[in-house]
Structure 1
Amino acid sequence: MEDFAGHDRPTRPSGAGQPRDYREFWPLYVGQHAAPLTRLLHMAGTILGVAALLAALAIGSWWFVLAAPVVSYGLAWSAHFFVERNRPATFAHPLWSLRADFEMCARMLSGRMHREVARVRSAGPPR
């Protein structure tokens, strides 16, 4: 059973360096999103952000374009600061983080994300 607050998540050892590619980034991302509530807030933010962009196209209002990142990042970052108590991966790797957000959402919608968190946890901290 996962810790709802995600306090038993893998962390990157100090001095381990930065990931060199997305394959190395993904386990770090999963570790920073160990709590189910964090993942749920990220998925809600991602879906609402995409919906705001689609609404901007459909309605032609730029306000929705401005609202998209505010809603999306607002939900995601609140999860990092108040649930995980860590720093969002967006700061260091914005494009990989965006890709990982969509991958995480896809895995959540298909029911595979819990298994991925367990796999990353069992592999231990990244080297």
Structure 2
Amino acid sequence: MSRHRYASMQAFYPFYLSQHRHPTCRRLHFIGTSIAAILIVVAVVTGHYGWLLVALLQGYAWAWTGHAFFEHNQPATFTHPLYSFLGDWRMWFETLTGRLRD
């Protein structure tokens, strides 16, 4: 766990990736973030914004399972919530586009 203060997301992201080295953890993050993205679209399309809370909860459930059982570390969310949230989406996008591989 890092208590370091990062000046930018660019400075934080290498640390974020270092906390997600296990391929299964990365896959679980990708699954959770993908489901969250779908639920965000559902919330916007239906106007039922309670789905946003469901998206947030289930997205983190998948990610934290990866940390607990595969990485054996504490999620960066606990010390860097905003950067961690942004890191999830960046890692998801880089995985989706093939820029980040296991």
Q: Structure 1 length as normaliser, TM-score?
A: 0.71
Q: Which residue identity is paired with 2:19?
A: Q
- Would you say how many aligned residue pairs link Structure 1 and Structure 2? 102
Whether 1:81 aligns to 2:95 is no
Task: Kindly state the Cα deviation for residue 76 of structure 1 after the two structures are TM-superposed.
Answer: 0.5
Whether 1:27 aligns to 2:5 is no
CA separation in 2, counterparts of 1:52 and 1:25?
27
CA separation in 2, counterparts of 1:35 and 1:108?
14
Tell which deviates more after alignment, 102-111 or 25-34. 102-111
5+ residue gaps, structure 2? none
Is the helix fraction higher in 1 or 2? 2
Which one has a bigger Cα radius of gyration?
A: 1
Task: Kindly state the Cα deviation for residue 90 of structure 1 after the two structures are TM-superposed.
Answer: 0.8
* Residue 93 (structure 2) aligns with: 106
RMSD: 2.1
CA separation in 2, counterparts of 1:105 and 1:17?
24
5+ residue gaps, structure 1? 1-10, 118-127
* Residue 122 (structure 1) aligns with: none
Structure 1 runs (4+) greater than 4 angstroms displaced: none
Distance 1:34 1:59, change over 3 A: same
Distance 1:24 1:51, change over 3 A: same
Task: Kindly state the Cα deviation for residue 80 of structure 1 after the two structures are TM-superposed.
Answer: 0.6
Q: Structure 2 length as normaliser, TM-score?
A: 0.86
